[in-house]
């Protein structure tokens, strides 16, 4: 597997997504999710971004920020599995 072409931007985006989720509001959640999706577009094998996307889905399910908590849990599991290379 070839190394990522843009490691700095993916890390920066992922870091911003982590910090952008404070305070835990729906607006911050949406911003964080968008940034994490950008990070995995840059590098689909960036495990930490997939982990954080999964965590966002868990938060969405618990916070009522999704129309389908069950679908959010399914996404969280899928993202975690992707991060593990499954």
Q: Is the pTM of this model over 0.85?
A: no
Lookup: tokens for 46:
């960036």
Lookup: tokens for 38:
């950008």
Question: What is the set of domains in the chain, with CATH numbers?
Answer: 7-83 (1.25.40.10)
Lookup: tokens for 67:
């129309």
pLDDT, one tens digit per residue, over 27-80 is: 888 888 898 898 899 889 989 989 999 999 998 999 999 999 999 999 999 999
Rg (CA), the chain: 13
> Any long-range contacts for 28-32 (C-beta under 8 Å, 24+ apart)?
29/56, 29/59, 29/60, 29/63, 29/65, 32/56
């Amino acid at each position: 597997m070839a190394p990522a072409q843009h490691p700095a931007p993916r890390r920066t985006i992922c870091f911003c997504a982590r910090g952008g989720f404070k305070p835990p509001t729906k607006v911050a959640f949406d911003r964080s999710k968008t940034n994490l999706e950008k990070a995995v577009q840059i590098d689909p094998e960036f495990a930490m971004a997939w982990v954080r996307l999964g965590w966002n889905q868990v938060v969405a399910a618990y916070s009522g920020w999704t129309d389908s908590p069950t679908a959010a849990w399914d996404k969280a599991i899928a993202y975690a599995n992707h991060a593990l290379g499954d």
